[in-house]
Amino acid sequence: MSTRIQTGFRHESVVSVGWMVGASPIIGTLIWLVALAILRPALTDRVWAEAILMFAALVLFPLAMRLVAIDHTLADLRLRRVIDRLQLPSALLLGAALLQDTGPLAATLALPWLLTLGLTAALGLRRFPRRPSWLSPEACVDLSLVYLVVGGAWAVLDRAGMRPLDFQPVIVLLTAIHFHYAGFLLPLLTGLAVARFGRGMQRLVACGVLAGVPLVAIGITTTQLGFSPLGESLAACWLAAATCLAAGLHLRLAWDFRWPRSARALWGSAGAALLASMGLAAAYGLRAYLPLAWLDIPTMRAWHGTANSLGFALPAVLGWLIATFSSRSLHSADAAP
């Protein structure tokens, strides 16, 4: 990528930000900030966890979907159009559901968000068979769309007040959050980053992330069923190690001067936040074997959740939007007479 991208984008970034992100995430951000100002949750409160979930639905999901390449088939284009139209109203209904007491009304309000994510998963399943390997960067993106629907299902369970396998209510909510971030955003962003490296690195990181997300869910489930916590600990360490590799890729890209300066700064901060966050995740996964009484769920909500959402996901997504937009601008300029 030439210097032309860096200098050209510097003048276009401010005036083009609306085109780059679209109207939906801007509206979602304003609504989220107003709600945050009204509720003023402490970082250790359950309300903050709900705010993190809403940040994914209102802001990060529509931003990240702009990074998913559009396959030029009529069915895929129509499906993308429906998802785009449903995203904001269904996310707002999810927010309304979180303001209600658990029960049939709250669960019903959350169902449109599950529908939106179900269509997103259908898009991923349509695209996935076209990939040469399930460990390819494109497959990472496709499977992130599929994993996300699990988060929507657990959000409905949370709002219904249901407790599968007698999980605590907070675990039901955190599972929904886990699949919005570790299940959706992490594989998607990993796929974008790992595409810039060799095939060996692609397979290593893709396998680690794609397998790590369900392994953690399985490990937590086996612990809940009364089995040894070793499975949960190993799964947490597996995902933490793979995620640290993904963070390292973003840090390496931050030092690649072929990319726009603003994108590199965002990737650098995202990679550093992700490293810190996954250090906490690995430690929490080993809590059965280490003296870490201070590292409880409220503490993880405050530090791990905040680092993942505002420290990693948001700057990483914005960095890739800037890089993608600058690349398109360069191609358009080169194609001009």
Helices 199-224 and 169-180, axial angle in degrees (round to 10): 170
The pTM for the full model equals 0.90
In a domain, 337, yes or no: no
Average pLDDT (257-282) is: 95
Which CATH number is 114's domain given?
1.20.1070
pLDDT at 219: 94
Give residue 20's pLDDT band: very low, low, confident or very high (50, 70, 90): low
CB 233 within 8 A of CB 288: yes
Cα distance from N-terminal residue to C-terminal residue, the chain: 20
- Residue 58 sits in which domain range? 19-331
The answer to the question of residue 4 being in a domain is no
User: What's the pLDDT band for 326 if we cut at 50, 70, 90?
Assistant: confident
Whether the predicted pLDDT of 192 surpasses 80: yes
pLDDT computed for residue 328 by the predictor: 57
* Residue, of 71 and 158, whose pLDDT is higher: 158
97 inside domain: yes
Pairwise pLDDT comparison (270 vs 330), residue with the higher score:
270
Provide, rounded to the nearest whole percent, the portion of the chain with pLDDT above 70.
Answer: 90
Residue 1 lies in a domain: no
Q: How far is 155 from 54, CA to CA, in rounded Å?
A: 11
Residue 11 pLDDT exceeds 80: no
- Convert 247-273 into a string of H (helix), E (strand) and C (coil): HHHHHHHHCCCCCCHHHHHHHHHHHHH
Look at residue 186 in the predicted model and tell me its pLDDT: 97
> Do the domain assignments include residue 14?
no
What is the phi/psi pair of residue 72, to 5°?
Answer: -90, 60
Of the listed ranges 151-160, 237-246, 325-334, the least confidently predicted one is 325-334
> Is residue 336 assigned to a domain?
no
- The per-residue pLDDT for range 30-85, each reduced to its tens digit, is 999 999 999 999 999 999 999 999 999 999 999 999 999 877 688 888 999 999 99
Which helix (H) or strand (E) element contains residue 124?
A: helix 104-127
Q: Is position 8 within any domain?
A: no
* pLDDT given at position 124: 95
Percent of the chain at pLDDT > 90 equals 82
Query: Number of helices and strands (H, E) in the chain?
Result: 16, 0
The count of domains in the chain is: 1
Asked if pLDDT for residue 333 goes beyond 80, the answer is no
Model confidence at 130, pLDDT cuts 50, 70, 90, reads confident
pLDDT in tens, 301-324: 999 999 999 999 999 999 999 998
In the predicted structure, residue 102 carries a pLDDT above the cut 60: yes
pLDDT of residue 1: 37
The helix or strand, by DSSP H or E, that contains position 188, with its residue range, turns out to be helix 186-194
* 116 CB-near residues (< 8 Å, 6+ apart): 83, 86, 87, 90, 91, 152
Residue 7, in any domain of the structure: no
pLDDT at residue 19, as a whole number: 53
